[in-house]
């Protein structure tokens, strides 16, 4: 019995001693050593790709799109047909203009042949011309109203004004002819009517050419805004055509980091839609102003990249990495070991089993590493982040 009591007391004493020793033992802390290596300093950010050379093709005439013979991603030559537009009034106007030219030429031929004026024919022609004039003047006013609303083009108004002018000229000539026999002035007027009618026909034919939208430059159709059956107003966008074997990337760099960027620095571009693929280029120019992008204050750094396979599509949002510096034999530590307070940057370094504060001066950095220019030597051990609050002068049990 006495032996059992003695054993229990001995165990209790051992437990107390062990607890006291455990409470007084220094905490275990993980350390990493400063090492030398080649440090490639990069600036990761984001940007947007766009063609360096591109133009937008727009509709000149209004109407219904009848044919779109191209598709997005297709390479086209300058002048290639992108879309055809049907103008319901065009065929009627063309036939009318051709008929007026034929009539004017026939009247001129008759006058030049010396045929006497036929009073009945002239009266009938005057009546018809005056009716035409009344109708065309109303149409001219209607087109002017549409022009003010930007629903009609200057050419539409000019074409209609020419019709009115032609009819006024025609009426004036008929009235002169009715006054008597053929005279030199009547022949001159007839020739003028022929010129007006021919000019009217030429305008209609130009308008006919405007119903075909063509590629302004050779390149790839990377944006197609219309399809067959759609209605277009004059000025509406039809397609964007550009050369995309080389692209411009607008890279958004936060204002405090712009000092690290220089013209000519290498740039790597990645696109989430094509993982594993990378495009290379260089910085072309730095921003002239700072702008807000969401909650960020950034500068637009313009970069040029090669896109030989045309895999990168204009308008895409990309990830960019600018290589700002390469430092050989740099002394580096993980960024997470760097601490900061009112005194500046510092680390907690190991001296025996005690923590010492080392004020450091940093240089270039990557996403995970930072260069130490002053304050540490190769092989010095510095603390990694710990759940334990650490302070200089504290004893620790180092884990390297």
Residue-by-residue pLDDT tens, the chain, 400 positions: 556 656 666 666 555 545 544 456 789 999 999 999 999 888 899 999 999 988 999 988 788 888 899 998 898 999 899 998 876 666 666 677 778 878 878 887 776 665 554 666 777 888 888 888 888 888 889 888 888 888 778 888 888 888 889 888 888 888 876 665 556 677 778 788 888 877 776 766 666 555 788 899 998 898 898 898 888 888 899 999 999 899 999 999 999 999 989 999 999 999 999 999 999 999 999 999 999 988 999 999 999 999 998 899 888 999 999 998 889 999 999 999 999 999 899 999 999 999 999 999 998 888 889 999 999 999 999 999 988 889 899 999 999 8
Q: Under a CB-based contact definition with an 8 Å cutoff, are residues 266 and 280 in contact?
A: yes
**pTM (2 d.p.):** 0.51
| Residue 211 to residues 80, 168, 241, Cα–Cα distance (Å) | 14, 29, 19
Give dist(CA 96, CA 197) in Å, integer: 10
Q: Please tell me the predicted confidence (pLDDT) of residue 396.
A: 92
What is the rounded radius of gyration, in angstroms, for the C-alpha atoms of the chain?
A: 42
Q: Please tell me the predicted confidence (pLDDT) of residue 90.
A: 62
Burial of 167 (0-12, 13-18, 19+ CB in 10 A): buried
Give dist(CA 361, CA 243) in Å, integer: 47
Q: What is the biggest distance separating any 2 CA atoms in the chain, rounded to whole angstroms?
A: 161
Give dist(CA 353, CA 25) in Å, integer: 12
Burial readout 202-231 (b: 16 or more C-beta within 10 A, e: otherwise)? ebbeebeebbebbbbeebbbbbbebeeeee
Structural element, H or E, at residue 106: helix 90-112
Give dist(CA 143, CA 161) in Å, integer: 10
């Amino acid at each position: 019995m006495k032996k059992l009591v003695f054993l229990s007391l001995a165990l209790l004493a051992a437990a107390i001693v062990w607890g006291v020793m455990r409470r007084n033992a220094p905490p275990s802390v993980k350390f990493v050593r400063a090492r030398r290596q080649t440090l490639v300093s990069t600036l990761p950010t984001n940007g947007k790709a766009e063609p360096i050379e591109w133009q937008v093709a727009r509709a000149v005439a209004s109407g219904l799109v009848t044919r779109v013979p191209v598709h997005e991603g297709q390479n086209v030559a300058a002048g290639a047909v992108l879309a055809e537009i049907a103008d319901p009034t065009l065929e009627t106007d063309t036939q009318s203009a051709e008929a007026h030219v034929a009539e004017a030429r026939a009247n001129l031929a008759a006058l030049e042949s010396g045929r006497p004026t036929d009073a009945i024919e002239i009266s009938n022609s005057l009546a018809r011309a005056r009716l035409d004039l009344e109708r065309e003047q109303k149409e001219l006013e209607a087109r002017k109203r549409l022009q003010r609303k930007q629903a009609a083009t200057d050419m539409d108004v000019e074409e209609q004004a020419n019709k009115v002018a032609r009819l006024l000229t025609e009426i004036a000539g008929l009235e002169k002819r009715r006054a008597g026999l053929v005279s030199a002035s009547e022949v001159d007027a007839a020739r003028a009517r022929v010129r007006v009618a021919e000019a009217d026909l030429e305008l209609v034919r130009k308008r006919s050419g405007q119903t075909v939208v063509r590629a302004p430059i050779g390149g790839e159709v990377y944006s197609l805004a219309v399809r067959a059956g759609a209605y277009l107003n004059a000025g509406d966008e039809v397609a964007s055509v550009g050369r995309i074997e080389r692209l411009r990337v607008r890279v958004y760099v936060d204002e405090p980091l712009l000092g690290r960027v220089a013209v000519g620095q290498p740039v790597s571009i990645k696109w989430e839609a094509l993982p594993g693929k990378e495009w290379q280029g260089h910085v072309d120019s730095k921003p002239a102003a700072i702008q807000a992008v969401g909650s960020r204050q950034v500068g637009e750094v313009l970069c040029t990249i090669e896109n030989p396979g045309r895999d990168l599509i204009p308008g895409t949002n990309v990830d960019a990495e600018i290589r700002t510096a390469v430092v050989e034999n740099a002394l580096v530590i993980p960024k997470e070991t760097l601490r900061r307070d009112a005194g500046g940057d510092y680390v907690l370094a190991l001296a025996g089993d005690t923590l010492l504060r080392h004020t450091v001066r940093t240089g270039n950095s990557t996403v995970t590493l930072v260069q130490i220019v002053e304050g540490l030597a190769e092989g010095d051990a510095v603390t990694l982040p710990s759940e334990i609050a650490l302070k200089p002068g504290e004893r620790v049990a180092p884990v390297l």
